[in-house]
Structure 1
Amino acid sequence: MDSITKASTGMKSLDEVVDYLRLGDNVVWQVDAINDYKYFVNLFVKNAITANRRVVYMRFAQHDSLIEEAAGEVTIYQLDACRGFESFSTQVYDIVSREGKEVFYVFDCLSDLLTAWANDLMIGNFFMITCPYLYELDTIAYFTLLRNKHSFQTVARIRETTQLLMDLYNCEGRYYVHPLKVWDRYSPTMFLPHALEGDLLSPITSSVDAARLFTIMPNICMENERRNLDYWDKLFLNAIEVYKVMLEGKETAAEEGKVIEQLCKLIIGRDHRILSLAKKYLSLKDLLDIKARLIGSGYIGGKAVGMLIARSILLKDNDFHWNDYLEPHDSYYIGSDVFYSYIVQNGWWKLRMQQRSSEGYFQVASDLKEKMHKGSFPAAVKEQFQQMLEYFGQSPIIVRSSSLLEDAFGNAFAGKYESIFCVNQGTPAERYQQFEDAVRKVYASTMNEDALAYRLQRRLDKRDEQMAILVQRVSGAHHNQYFFPDLAGVGVSYNTYVWKEDLDPHAGMLRLVHGLGTRAVDRVEGDYPRIVALDKPLLRPHAGLDDLRKYSQHEVDVLNTASNQLEVVSLNEMDYENRRDLMALIGVRDYEANKRMKELGIKGPDLWTLTFDNLMTTTAFPQIMRRMLKTIKSAYQYPVDIEFAINFSKDQGPNINLLQCRPLQTKGLKSRVLIPYDIQEERILFKSKGHFMGGNISQSLKRIVYVDPEKYSILNLSEKYEIARIVGRLNKQIHDRKNLPTMLAGPGRWGTSNPSLGVPVAFSEINHMAVMVEISFSSAGLIPELSFGTHFFQDLVETDIFYTALFPEKNNVFFNHGFINRQQNIFNQLCPDKLQFEGIIKVYDFTDRDLVLMSDVLSQEVVCFLEEK
């Protein structure tokens, strides 16, 4: 025997049957009992130790140890499969990488993973990624499966991937070994069952003996029908039976509770607070309804869970008839396991493991992202996609990210992943292709740089982050070739932006738009949603007729069914002749503009300004939304953030489609900060009244990164983008925000997509800052956008970044240019290769002095000043 390429099973006669083991072999045993397998495992291990082989035991199951005492000669790794498929698989991958080549492995029974994952599919995926890597490293590995515990499909995938597949039976006290697959070798009797007598395996060659053997082998012909089912499906079939018995009044509440808890752990998630809400508010019927609309298996993700729990909370509110106002939903869910299967079956798992490393975290992500735009789906998944699209017909739908960590307590991932509108027009084949492309885009968005930076900063980079998908029917109606809802927006139960002393932050706030809600959740250049403080809905952050026009919505996001795409349409290009009842609620005719049009001989529909005032005063809308937020917040026992769409029908109130709900990260009022009233002007950098977010604070600052508004405004386009990249570079140099709290100040809007309106940084380029200041420089059109409630501002709150907007041209705002000019600029020390920008980006150090930022919500004052020595 060539000892370099061959090895022994520890039983000479078994070696002869399979022509020995070869380096690279994965050996899978199908057994009825773990103890039967232990006998052959220990023969293998003892022989390997005798041959001075390194033996590693992967221990993760509930059954007794497979390996007898080996005096410390076996390396044992204790693994936790309950942490999830990716964490478990990554841990195995990392161990195998460290152990290196020609190691001999024993794995606990793979069937035990069903307890942790409840899914045959993921066991098959685990084997498909682990087996080839072990083969690549010239190892030999023993695995086992319990017979009839897995679907035919799972066993088939394992059979296809492994090098050896062995059936082991214990019949009437005698072992029988039946090789089903032995890769790359053959003998005339190799694939016959072999009876073990003492140490000798003898092939059963007689037809009489073979027939007699197979008639007495336990379970070999039993449960074939059930074995076709995945373990996952068996659990839900059992849940259906419990539900039927419950309808007959025979099942106890305790039994129903056990099944609800089991199903919640399968499809809702692992977060104990979310699980607690789900078990309290989701019924067994609710969970079975989710399963009926679930494509694939696994979790439905945070976005879907939040939406379902919030709806159920409202419908269980016996003090209000929410059924009169809530628009029904008929969403579908693509389970999180489809995401991993997509990666595994397209052969990208090794790339995924490289991306999980510190060195490849960002670098490998771009390659993986590109590949994920082009992968293929299994036939079974494609068929379910097709059936779902046939259900929706040509109704517009939206394909929304719903990852495991998304919309959780403390981690909103707001705007980090993609949501794709499918206008859903064209032939069935065209609509199917559009949908598949949308799913790929959502999957690929897990590798977005902002999403990766967010996970890294919040120490989630090692956590499982499977991407489930929520597919929702777009709320709205057809208006000629356009499809859109009457209203849409976001709501927060705690108003982090109270711009007047007498506003109650606990009353909540809305950010309201006409048309699709994309304008409510994103910062849109030159357009402004209606900000509604629910305790004073007519109060605005701005005053005056000119401000009313300027700070209002001028464009509408719609789905164009003729062009089959999302479009932005000017409000005044829309024909509202047949929607005068709606416009009377949300707008007022712009009489001055209409008069000018007539004087100029311009014909067209009337021009409107959206105020939403009549909606606030003539309907119960603000009271309904305030109650909705309060009811959900009370159930969560935590502030919440919702997204919604609203449609009006004749003789009825608003039909509210609750699209999303998540815990809202907020900064509370805390104790009041008493701002000194006698600060000398030369020590003040700035002071302002209102326009800040971050609660009451007294923050010491050690550095300022300042982009000069006037000098920035005259840069060309490429130079403005270069400024953004340099800011990102300075941001990365802040290794510890606590030891180097830094204020970022600059013109217009941070994070804009239009460099003429501000510095176009990504959030990952400013996420280490402690304070962010937007400074108005109106002569160049660089004006802050007070877009509270957007994904951008959710990021600021979650990352604990204090925000203020400064309008130096206003009477109650002071910005001290002399203070800035007196400080020493250390930019050249931090970016010596970018000296051409030294006069535009200025960095000031205050490590030897005390620069302090103070804000007080009650008085609405904010001031930044240098303390006296």
Structure 2
Amino acid sequence: MSKIYNRASTGITGFDNAIDMLRLGDNVVWQVDSVVDYKGYVAPFVKRARKDGRKIVYIHFAPHDPLIDDLKGIGYYELDPDQGFESFSTHVYDIITDEGKEVFYVFDCLSELLTYWHSDLMIGNFFRIACPYLFELDTVAYFALLRNKHTYSTIARIRETTQVLFDLYHIKNQYYVHPLKVWERYSSTMFIPHKSTKTEFTPVTASAELAEIFSYTSIQAERKDNWINLFDSAREALFMDESEQQKIKDMIINIMVGRSRRINDMVNKYLTLKDLLNIQLRQIGTGFIGGKSVGMLLARKILEEDKEVKFEDILEQHDSFYLGSDIFYTYIVQNGWWKLRRKQKTESGYFKYARELKERMLEGKFPEVIKEQFQQMLEYFGQSPIIVRSSSLLEDDFGNAFAGKYESVFCANQGTPEERYRAFEEAVKKIYASTMKEEALAYRLKRGLFNKDEQMAILVQRVSGDYHGDYFFPHLAGVGNSSNLYVWDQSIDRHAGMLRLVFGLGTRAVDRIMGDYPRIVSLDRPEQSPLLDYEDEAKFSQRKVDVLDLKENALLEKPLEEVINLDLKTRSDIFAKPDHKTNRKMKELGLKGKSHYILGFEKLLKETDFPLWMRKMLATLEAMYDYPVDIEFTANFREDESYKINLVQCRPLQTKGPGEPVQMPEISDTNKCLFTFKGNFMGGNIRLPLDYIILVDPKGYMELSLEDKYAVARTVGIINNKLKDNTMMIMGPGRWGTTTPTLGVTVNFAEICNVKAICELAYNIGGFMPELSYGSHFFQDMVESDIFYAAIFDGYPEVSYNPGYVLDRKNLLGEIAPNSLGLKDVIHVADVSEMELYSDIISQKVLCK
């Protein structure tokens, strides 16, 4: 059954007769030559609305004087579009919500928003948000657009969305109104120009008069988006004086780089106007390019401009594109999810609606204009593998790394153009959906970013590496920290920096991978390992290699023995050496097969200048950032053993100093403390009084079903929230935060974010083995949250561990998480208010008693 509309007046009787009145629910858009012309038609509309006793609201956001001279009795809101699209749109949405049904609205000319947002795309997005909501509430709203100011696609979106669209012409002191769309109304003269006065509104039917009118209104060629026009004009500034260039440069930084003052200052210092204009040439859509893109570009520029060290000789050229943050909002608005996003952005709906929005974001559609630009970019890359990476506004900034919170997706980029396009589009959707991951939401909430504008831009990079058989990968990849605060030996210089190094793609360097150990390198002693004196060196090295399998068109892990014997186009012994012990055993057992290798990178670290270059690179970036940095990189070697380093990411490293020296208690009997050992900890000098210890028993955990192992992680999350105002230490088997229950406790970081210390327990029977997390995303989370970390290798020399100090106390699990009593033999929560945790970097001692 169709909706019944009440009538409303334009304030001009003849006008009302021509269009059969306005209806409640109508959004009325005027295309005008000037705001003054628009104001002339706002006045009678407001006057009549007052007479009829209507509630009137005026939304004022443009720099011109108000459109309504007498604001008495009118709801008046003055908004600042410079706060950004989401803040502005949210404010308008909330006003509409609060004002309620059957309100009459006047909005300033929407074209004025280009002054702040610089994007036609976002004008259309705003209208797509406001118009349907106003219609839903039976309002009547007036909007205006400046003629020939917007792209045809923007006008088309507005025409499609609005109920009423007029062209207003001012020709030779005479006004003409041409109705272009009047929804669900029709007459034989409705859609021709009408000569308009304050009282009369007469259709122009004579062909001679119509021809004269339209001689002043020629059809324009397709117009560029305001964003493109702005940058075209900016290129002309390259020929202007320095002061004019600086004005343009400041403007571009504000609209494309971001809102971080500290980062913007660095960009202003190191990137030229020409640099910024070249970046824009590789931008798809409009808006910010995001923190990850900015960090990569800024760091590379710093190194390339270094006068003392010729980094340009060693750096591989990057090949990247940037999906502007406005595409993220366009995707949400285009698919009709803005109302759901508003519900999710409330305190009560923050987690409640995130799952639904995440699922929808995996299934949406992109506008055709964006899809075409995606296609052109993919044609540029051809079949070269690419990586699609998150680059949100807040990411990689001073204070907020967002390490591992959002997705990055490798695209092997094989197959037909249609198949390659589908894979890329799915990767973009997956990254957008990752903004609604519980862990990302918890991170923002914990760091006070709940109400911050967190738009998602995307960085698309050509994968660094080469073809080796059917596989594509770089020889080396890893992360580097310029400040190694978590040293494992008192002789190490923490200012020299450290690396977390892997063979193949860098996924194994940033994530904690099942059964694998990256090589940890302290750059002042690159040949020295942080691990204990293990009996079997091979057990604690990298065993699998992540590659892009071009036949399977996927990211896969392959055994080291398979990959190391490929044609690497350089010497394999730079990276790996034969595992003589294993090979001898295999021979003794009569087993024939491939030789086994150990990835120790010994010749790389001892016989090449690679560690020296990395140390110089980290030191230079830290000096220019005036802050420790965290980088991601790859390296590719040639047959002559020369190589290139590709810097793919750089961000401020969230750190704290080692702290004041701690007076360690003297212990005559190591059995009279919970644990004591040397090395294998991260977090500086501490003396931490504890309230509670949550201990997951390794043996009990190993014997649980897979379902119950996951239940342990969820229960730890409940305890983490219930005891968040207390000082907690958690202890348990293997790797906390792993995705594999057989390797450790599968918590996500949101489930342990309130603890002050984590102790990972080695347990030989179950195969649990901690791994020092230097440089991983887990490491970043611990540093940013100021969490102390220790790995306890029970049974090793100089390690004393006495779990009875916890297990002999009352188990409080039933009081804190009564629905988890079935796990009381595995999870033990003890009040340990008299216990303290100590560590000392100089002596490398850790103690809890």
**TM-score with structure 2 length normalisation?**
0.95
Q: Structure 1: how far apart are the matches of 2:427 and 2:478?
A: 23
Unaligned runs of 5+ in 1: 246-250
Q: Tell me, what secondary structure is at the counterpart of 1:478?
A: strand
The alpha-carbon deviation at position 3 of structure 1 amounts to: 12
Partner of 2:829: 843
Q: 1:346 aligned to 2:335?
A: yes
200-209 or 337-346: bigger deviation: 200-209
Match of 1:25 in 2: 26
- Counterpart AA for 2:840: D
Tell me the distance in 1 between the aligned counterparts of 2:504 and 2:682. 28
Task: Report if aligned partners of 2:125, 2:333 keep a CA contact under 8 Å in 1.
Answer: yes
Match of 1:823 in 2: 809
Shift of 1:9: 2.4
Q: Report the Cα offset of residue 676 of structure 1.
A: 3.3
**3-state SS of 2:247 partner:** helix
Q: CA deviation at 1:262?
A: 2.0
Q: State the SS of the aligned residue for 1:108.
A: strand
**1:517-546 deviation line (CA, Å, top 9, x unaligned):** 111000012211110011111111125463
- Name the CA distance, whole Å, in 2 between partners of 1:144 and 1:239: 28
> Is 2:678–2:845's contact at 8 Å kept on the other side of the alignment?
yes
Instruction: Classify 1:577/1:372 alpha carbon distance in 2 versus 1 (closer, same or farther; 3 Å).
Output: closer
1:45, 1:640 → 2: CA distance? Answer: 58
Q: Which residue of 2 aligns with 1:621?
A: 610
What corresponds to 2:843 in structure 1? 859
String of CA shifts for 1:94-135, please: whole Å, max 9, x gaps.
222222221222222211211221100110011012101110
Shift of 1:652: 5.3
Q: Residue type matched to 2:166 in 1?
A: M
Deviation at 1:475, TM superposition (A): 1.2
CA distance in 2, matches of 1:572, 1:23: 73
- 2:151 equivalent in structure 1: 151
Aligned residue number for residue 60 of structure 1 = 61
Matched residue type, 1:61: A
**Residue aligned with 2:58, SS:** strand
Aligned to 1:248: none
Query: Is contact 1:54-1:104 (8 Å) kept?
Result: yes
| 2:602 corresponds to 1:608 | no
- The 1:690/1:52 distance shift into structure 2, 3 A limit, reads farther
2:93 matches 1:93: yes
Question: 2:694 & 2:435 partners in 1: Cα distance?
Answer: 31
Q: Distance in 1 between matches of 2:762 and 2:590?
A: 38
Cα distance in structure 1, aligned partners of 2:425 and 2:201: 53
Between the aligned partners of 2:814 and 2:696, the Cα distance in structure 1 is 14
Provide the rounded CA distance (Å) in 2 between the counterparts of 1:472 and 1:188. Answer: 57
CA, structure 1 residues 707+33, in 2 after alignment: closer, same or farther (shift >3 Å)?
same
Task: Give the aligned partner of residue 221 of structure 1.
Answer: 218
Listed as ranges, the matches of 1:112-151 within 5 Å are 112-151=112-151
Residues in 2 aligned to 1:10 and 1:675: alpha-carbon distance in whole angstroms: 84
Distance 1:850 1:61, change over 3 A: farther
**Residue range with higher mean Cα deviation, 564-573 or 341-350:** 341-350
**Residue 52 (structure 2) aligns with:** 51
For residues 670 and 502 of structure 2, what CA distance do their matches in structure 1 show? 42
Alignment match, 1:402: 391
Q: Give 1:562's aligned residue.
A: 551
**Equivalent of 1:758, from 741, 744, 754?**
744
Contact 1:106/1:142, CA 8 A, preserved across alignment: yes
Which letter maps to 1:489? G
Say which SS state the counterpart of residue 780 (structure 1) adopts: coil
1:686-733: CA deviation from partner (whole Å, max 9, x where unpaired): 333222222223333322222222322222221111111111112222
Whole-Å Cα distance in 2 between the matches of residues 370 and 198 of structure 1? Answer: 53
Q: The residue matched to 1:490 in structure 2 has which SS?
A: strand
Distance 1:689 1:182 in 2: 80
- Aligned in 2, Cα 1:124/1:273: closer, same or farther, shift over 3 Å? same
Q: Answer yes or no: is the 8 Å Cα contact 2:46–2:56 preserved in 1.
A: yes
Moved more, 198-207 or 706-715: 198-207
State the Cα distance separating 1:167 from its structure 2 match.
2.5
Match of 2:470 among 481, 500, 505: 481
In 1: Cα distance, 2:817 partner to 2:207 partner = 83
The answer (yes or no) to whether the contact 1:575–1:605 under 8 Å persists in 2 is no
- Structure 2 counterpart of 1:240, from 220, 235, 241: 235
**What are the residue-to-residue correspondences of 1:276-425 with 2, within 5 Å?**
276-425=265-414
Three-state SS of the structure 2 residue aligned to 1:778 is coil
Does the 8 Å CA contact 2:12/2:198 hold for their aligned counterparts?
A: no
* Structure 1 residue 228 displacement after superposition: 0.9
Name the SS of the counterpart of 1:809 in structure 2.
coil
Identity %: 54
Q: Distance in 1 between matches of 2:727 and 2:47?
A: 60
- 1:91 Cα offset (Å): 2.2
**Contact 2:569-2:639 within 8 A present in 1 as well:** no
Tell me how far apart the structure 1 counterparts of residues 784 and 425 of structure 2 sit (CA, whole Å).
33
Distance 2:587 2:808 in 1: 56
- TM-score, scaled relative to structure 1: 0.93
Match of 2:201 in 1: 201
Counterpart residue number, 1:468: 457
Q: Secondary structure at the match of 2:353?
A: helix
Check whether the contact 2:570–2:639 (CA below 8 A) recurs between aligned residues: no
CA contact (8 A) 1:475 1:484 kept: yes
**Structure-1 residue corresponding to 2:774:** 788
Secondary structure at 2:571 match in 1: helix
Q: Is 1:773 the equivalent of 2:759?
A: yes
Q: Write the distance in 2 (CA, Å) between the matches of 1:547 and 1:467.
A: 45
Letter in 2 for 1:371: R
Q: What RMSD, in angstroms, separates the aligned Cα atoms of the two structures?
A: 2.4
Aligned equivalents of 1:8, 1:763: Cα separation in 2: 58
From the superposition, tell whether residues 179 and 311 of structure 1 become closer, same or farther in structure 2 (CA, over 3 Å): same
Matched with 1:14 is: 15
Q: What is the CA deviation profile of residues 251-310 of structure 1, one whole-angstrom value per residue up to 9, with x for unaligned ones?
A: 322222222222222322221122122222222332222222222222222111111111
Partner SS for 1:89? helix
Q: Distance in 1 between matches of 2:573 and 2:5?
A: 86
**SS of equivalent residue, structure 1 residue 779:** coil
| Bigger shift: residues 810-819 or 775-784 | 810-819
What is the correspondence of 1:474-553 to structure 2 with a 5 Å cutoff? 474-544=463-533, 546-553=535-542
Further displaced range: 149-158 or 375-384? 375-384
For residues 79 and 494 of structure 2, the distance between their equivalents in structure 1, rounded to whole angstroms, comes to 47
Task: Report the Cα offset of residue 11 of structure 1.
Answer: 3.1
Using the TM superposition, give the Cα deviation of residue 75 of structure 1 relative to its aligned residue in structure 2, in angstroms: 2.1
Listed as ranges, the gaps of 5+ residues in structure 2 are: none
Q: Which residue of 2 aligns with 1:42?
A: 43
TM-superposed deviation, 1:578: 4.7
CA shift for structure 1 position 352: 2.2
C-alpha deviation, 1:66, in angstroms: 2.1
Task: Give the distance between the partners of 1:601 and 1:835, measured in 2 at CA.
Answer: 51
Report the Cα offset of residue 150 of structure 1.
1.4
Distance 1:435 1:83 in 2: 32
Distance, in Å, in 1 between the alignment partners of 2:23 and 2:147 is 25
Amino acid at match of 1:305: V
When residues 854 and 58 of structure 1 are mapped into structure 2, their CA distance, relative to the original with a 3 A threshold, is farther
Contact kept in structure 2, 1:408 and 1:662, CA below 8 Å: yes
Which moves more between the two structures, 305-314 or 563-572? 563-572
CA positional deviation for 1:794:
0.7
Distance verdict in 2 for CA 1:172–1:700, change over 3 Å: farther
- State the number of aligned residues: 847
Q: CA deviation at 1:601?
A: 4.6
Contact 2:468 2:567 in 1 (8 A): no
* Contact 2:697 2:732 (8 Å CA) reproduced: yes
Amino acid at match of 2:793: F
